[in-house]
Structure 1
Amino acid sequence: MSDENQILIPDSFLDLHRDRSRSRLRTPLAEVRDRYEVCEDLSQQLVAQAQHIHFDLGVAEVEVLMRIEAGLSGPDSVLSPEEGVWVSRRLAELLHWY
């Protein structure tokens, strides 16, 4: 089994790439896997930046997440708007900011 096939993609991310009935992927699985890796890596990398903005600059948790989501979902982003939302939610999960 190759390494890439061992990646467990959460349903919350798969749902971004499923059809309306949520029964089939609209996007090839290999591409979904690649997109997931980008989004997961980005959310992990944003932890320190979000903590800095919150603790050092005194910005509320919800405001930090809203700012990051806005930046990730903007027209110049390499992420889709849905992926930007997913990254910000994953970031909140990693930070335990529910």
Structure 2
Amino acid sequence: MDDANQIEVPPSFVALFTTGAGTRLTHPMGAVRERYELCEDLAQALTEQASAALSASGGDEQAVLEKIQRALQAEGSAVSPVEASWVGRRLAELLGWEAPGRD
């Protein structure tokens, strides 16, 4: 078994790649795992930037998260809009902030 297969993709991320009924994956699991690794790494990497932006903004966590999500959802982004929303929620979780209210 290769190392990639030992990465557990959380259900919240797998849900981004399932059919409307939630019963079948729309992409191979290997591709989902790769996208998860990218998004998780991105959320981890953004923690310092988000904390610094919070200090600069005067303490508005939601505004910081929304700004980051808008940037991630911009044309040419490495992540899809639904992945960007997941990254925003994961970033909030990592920082102990309230999750963004919209996707």
- Measured against the shorter chain, the TM-score band is over 0.9
> Residue 90 of structure 2 corresponds to which residue in structure 1?
90
TM-score by length of structure 2 reads 0.91
Q: Check if 1:5 corresponds to 2:5.
A: yes
SS of aligned partner of 1:27: coil
Q: Check if 1:52 corresponds to 2:52.
A: yes
> Residue 24 of structure 1 corresponds to which residue in structure 2?
24
CA distance in 2, matches of 1:66, 1:38: 20
TM-score by length of structure 1 reads 0.95
Give the aligned length. Answer: 98
Cα deviation for residue 74 of structure 1 reads 1.2
CA distance in 1, matches of 2:59, 2:95: 14
CA distance in 2, matches of 1:60, 1:38: 27
Q: Where does structure 2 lack aligned partners over 5 or more consecutive residues? A: 99-103
CA distance in 2, matches of 1:76, 1:3: 30
SS of aligned partner of 1:97: coil
> Residue 101 of structure 2 corresponds to which residue in structure 1?
none
Q: Alpha-carbon deviations, 1:9-68, whole Å to 9, x = none?
A: 001100000001101100111110100000000000000000000024425100000000
CA distance in 1, matches of 2:57, 2:85: 23
Give me the CA root mean square deviation: 1.0
Task: Give identity over the alignment, percent.
Answer: 46
